[in-house]
Amino acid sequence: MKHLLVLAGTGEARNLLKQLAQQQTFRITASLAGATTAPLPLGVTTRSGGFGGVSGLADWVRAHDVDIMLDMTHPYAAQMSAHAATVAEDLALPTLAFHRPPWRPQAGDRWQDFESWQHMSAALPAAARLFLAAGSRALRPFCARPDLTLLIRGLAIDGSIKRKNISILESLPNKLVEDEMQLLRDYDISHLVCKNSGGEFSRAKLDAARQLGLPVWMLARPALPAAANYYQVFSDVDAITRALLR
């Protein structure tokens, strides 16, 4: 069997790995960044942690006789995608990349993009009440402003940030718009802060903000590698599955 290295960490990667494991077409190794302390099992051989940059990834690929690489990392994991694209071209390694399309504003949305969390935090009005659904790395700039009231949702949130003006929900996003709307009302939220992650997994919060007329402040999408000779880019999971199995 050909050895397939899957740079995973997204729901799309998990679903595709389940499908590939059932078909037994490849010998598969999935790689996770290691940001989650107890990730759900992927059903295939899994490694965790970084590779050590471009050279480390290239060394791992060569040492483990990887035939094909699949980049299904998060849209904001730009460095990992850049490393994958470089290794693909340097080693002439066929690589398929799924770049999830971003969310697009609809009528009634009040969206604004910012280049960094720091810029966003500095622009917030005094005494704003934030629903922060953006991951642990986004927390520090907002926690540095004592006038803000924060509702933070996520898993494995850093416990050292717990203060009087911060509420933490250790949970996944609600699937129903009505539940997200109730959450925003219960905490009297003035701004929703998030990444433009795309997909359906956490979209309900955006629909809830639209219904309530709340501003949504997003971290701008990082630039991702363009398609090249050995780094093929897809925006549809079915298309990447067909290309992989043809």
Are 208 and 148 within 8 A, CB to CB?
no
- Report the pLDDT value the prediction gives residue 151, as an integer from 0 to 100: 93
CATH topology of domain 111-219: Rossmann fold (3.40.50)
User: What tens digit of pLDDT does each residue of 103-126 get?
Assistant: 999 999 999 999 999 999 999 999
Phi and psi of 53, rounded to 5°? 80, -170
Are 223 and 215 within 8 A, CB to CB?
no
> Picking from 129-133, 162-166, 185-189, 216-220, which range would have the lowest pLDDT averaged per residue?
162-166
Give the span between the Cα atoms of 40 and 36, in whole angstroms: 9
- Domain map (residue ranges) of the chain: 2-101+223-245, 111-219
- Report the pLDDT value the prediction gives residue 168, as an integer from 0 to 100: 85
| pLDDT at 158 exceeding the cut of 70 | no
Are 47 and 237 within 8 A, CB to CB?
no
Mean model confidence pLDDT for the chain: 92
- Report the pLDDT value the prediction gives residue 170, as an integer from 0 to 100: 83
Phi and psi of 39, rounded to 5°? -70, 150
Are 2-101+223-245 and 111-219 the same fold in CATH?
yes
Give the span between the Cα atoms of 126 and 220, in whole angstroms: 23
Side chain identity, residue 110:
R
Take residue 80 and report the two structure tokens written for it.
């990992």
| pLDDT at 159 exceeding the cut of 80 | no
Give the span between the Cα atoms of 84 and 23, in whole angstroms: 25
User: What tens digit of pLDDT does each residue of 12-54 get?
Assistant: 999 999 999 888 899 999 999 876 666 678 889 999 999 999 9
Work out whether the CA dihedral 111, 115, 117, 120 comes out positive or negative. Answer: negative
| pLDDT at 156 exceeding the cut of 70 | no
User: What tens digit of pLDDT does each residue of 171-210 get?
Assistant: 889 999 999 999 999 999 999 999 999 998 899 999 999 9
Q: Was domain 2-101+223-245 assigned CATH 3.40.50.720?
A: yes
80-84-86-88 Cα dihedral, nearest 10 degrees: 180
Phi and psi of 121, rounded to 5°? -60, -40
